[in-house]
Amino acid sequence: MSVAVLVVAVVPTFNEVDNLERLIRSILDVDPSLGVLVVDDASTDGTAELAHRLADEFENVDVIDRPEKSGLGSAYRDGFGRAIAGGDDVCIQIDADLSHDPADLPALLANVANGADLAIGSRYVPGGRTQSWTWGRRWLSRWGNRYAAGVLGLAVNDATAGYRVYRTDALKWMDYETVTAEGYGFQIEMTHRLVRAGGKIVEFPIEFRDRHAGTSKMSRGIVREAFGLVGRLWLDDRTDRRRRRRLSG
């Protein structure tokens, strides 16, 4: 007799009232058995109230109300913690702005079911693409990913991707709770942590679409954090290699 795998989509939100209902209904249209956990950072546009109305309508939708805007990485850490405490086996990361197509979920979940610890919805493997981006934004994203992968030796084409599926066992043994970065930096640090822990990562091509409505959360501070983080992780790796050499010598 097969054992059901419990899967939850963790959706951080801040002022996404124009997108959230469509996203949640699209996720549940793909598979009504999926859980959805909205982690709201004190939205001021009615997002949290909408999330609670949807939670009243669907028994597998839940909401974490946070008292202030604390960042993407923090929201995912709280969401992962709730999922693990609830006994979920798999956590989906998906943006609330409809840039990620829930129709790709079966393929990403299949990769995890077939042995991946992390399946990344990748813009930068054959078949992946970005839609409606300016040349400058596309260049910055591609260059940033190549920089992170080259400096840290990640062998991952899209380390900043936000569309992901993790096994919760992998989240636990990679010690996700101690990942401190936010924004794109969070995705890079999580990728780095899993690679260093020996996890298996698979990239699946997706089409990334620009947000449906609302305002982008991208900022210069988030970009600066990501580039500074790469340098810090490189230094950590170097220090760790030196420590291991001393211990082995």
pLDDT of 213: 55
Contact assessment for residue 131 and residue 207, using Cβ atoms and an 8 Å cutoff? yes
Query: What single string gives the DSSP state of each residue in 191-227?
Result: HHHHHHTT--EEEEE-EEE--SSS-----HHHHHHHH
SS (H, E, C) 33-48: CCEEEEEEECCCCCHH
Enter the tokens of residue 115: 């042995």
pLDDT in tens, 177-228: 999 888 779 999 999 999 999 999 999 999 998 765 555 555 566 667 777 8
* pTM: predicted TM-score of the whole model, two decimal places: 0.89
- pLDDT higher than threshold 90 for residue 143: no
What Cα–Cα distance (Å) separates residue 249 from each residue in 29, 139, 174, 192? 58, 44, 27, 26
pLDDT in tens, 106-125: 999 999 999 999 999 999 99
Enter the tokens of residue 159: 């380390």
3-state secondary structure at position 120: strand
Tell me the C-alpha distance between 12 and 238, whole Å: 33
Looking at this protein, which amino acid is placed at residue 50? Answer: L
Q: Please, which pLDDT band fits residue 2 given cuts at 50, 70 and 90?
A: very low
The domain limits of the chain are 7-248
pLDDT of 242: 73
Fold category of 7-248 in CATH: Spore Coat Polysaccharide Biosynthesis Protein SpsA; Chain A (3.90.550)
